[in-house]
Amino acid sequence: MLHTVNKSPFQNSTLESCVRFASQGDVILLIEDGVLAAQAGNVKAELLKEAMGKCEVLALSADLKARALTDLVEGIKITDYDGFVDLVEKNLTHSWL
């Protein structure tokens, strides 16, 4: 299944909860302020590494670009709006709002 996270991990524990409830093989997509978690060297990078142990972690390119995030935590993949639509089409989705 697909989990979308749109909150900054520095603001609240939404990403943490998402990672806790995500299952092996799920996809986590960072969107809006959620992409702030993707910045390389950030204090929440360990959490993303934990997530990548069981899930694929993606970040939405438009949101990364808008926030000038180019140097990303290793292993995070980038997708665009078309990729987002594909994911929603193929997966049961939970929005971690």
Q: Which amino acid is at 58?
A: L
Confirm if 5 and 18 have CB atoms less than 8 A apart.
Answer: yes
Say which residues have a Cβ less than 8 Å from residue 25's Cβ, sequence separation at least 6: 54, 55
The two structure tokens encoding residue 12? 């609240």
95 binds other proteins, rule: CB under 8 A: yes
Q: Which of residues 10-69 bind other proteins (CB under 8 A)?
A: 13-14, 17, 20-23
* Smallest gap from residue 37 Cβ to other proteins (A): 17
Q: Is 89 in the site for other proteins (CB under 8 A)?
A: no
**Out of 44, 56, 78, 94, which residue is the one contacting other proteins (CB under 8 A)?**
94
Binder to other proteins among 41, 70, 71, 92 (CB under 8 A)? Answer: 92
Distance, in Å, from the CA atom of 49 to the CA atom of 68, rounded to the nearest integer, reads 22
Provide the binding-site residues for other proteins, judged by CB under 8 A: 1, 13-14, 17, 20-23, 92-97
